[in-house]
Amino acid sequence: MAAVLLIYHMENGRRKILEGLCASMGIRSVFADAESSHVPIGVLSGSMEPNALWNCGMTERDSTAGDAGQPAPSGREPDRARVHSTIEEEMIVMCGFTKAQFDAFLEMLRMAGLKIGLKAVETPANRSWTGEMLHRELSREREAIRTSLRGTGSSSEGKD
């Protein structure tokens, strides 16, 4: 699988810089909009077949919610209530990166001054998760680390 970077909740200026970094490294970037935050990261990255949506507990209605104005394959209208996203901070997911690409990409982020609070790597364990599920898990892990560090007198505030 070729390297893909999934980008969630990023304003256009920062996103364009990140997309430029990806292009310079031969990494395909995918902006996951609010509708895409309900799609498994493996489907967005290409590591899972789209029909795997049904194997991830999503329904046809869920999987077509992002087709603005297009009826679902069954002829039903998409469920408009699912089109919003609870992801309210920047998050990136690195999919199919080699170790060299991973190291170089993180170094380029640092050199460009792009601090992104939530970063993840696609794994077999998380590729069936939606962006929202991954965001919740990363947020919980970050809070657990902060709580642990407060107990030891250390701080991770402002560090990426």
Does residue 55 belong to any structural domain of this protein?
A: yes
Does residue 128 belong to any structural domain of this protein?
A: yes
Overall number of domains in the chain? 1
Q: What is the pLDDT of residue 43?
A: 94
Distance CA 120, CA 153 (A): 26
Does residue 118 belong to any structural domain of this protein?
A: yes
pLDDT > 60? residue 59: no
Does residue 157 belong to any structural domain of this protein?
A: no
pLDDT band at 86 (very low <50, low <70, confident <90, very high): confident
Does residue 159 belong to any structural domain of this protein?
A: no
Tokens read off for 111: 């050199």
Average pLDDT (87-108) is 96
For residue 30, give its domain range.
Answer: 4-152
User: Using an 8 Å Cβ cutoff, are 93 and 120 in contact?
Assistant: yes
Angle at 32 between CA 26 and CA 33, to 5 degrees: 145
Does residue 160 belong to any structural domain of this protein?
A: no
Give the bridge partners for 120, in sequence order. 93
Strand, helix or coil at 27?
coil
Does residue 158 belong to any structural domain of this protein?
A: no
Strand, helix or coil at 11?
coil
Does residue 119 belong to any structural domain of this protein?
A: yes
User: Using an 8 Å Cβ cutoff, are 78 and 92 in contact?
Assistant: no
Q: Which helix (H) or strand (E) holds 121?
A: strand 118-121
pLDDT band at 103 (very low <50, low <70, confident <90, very high): very high
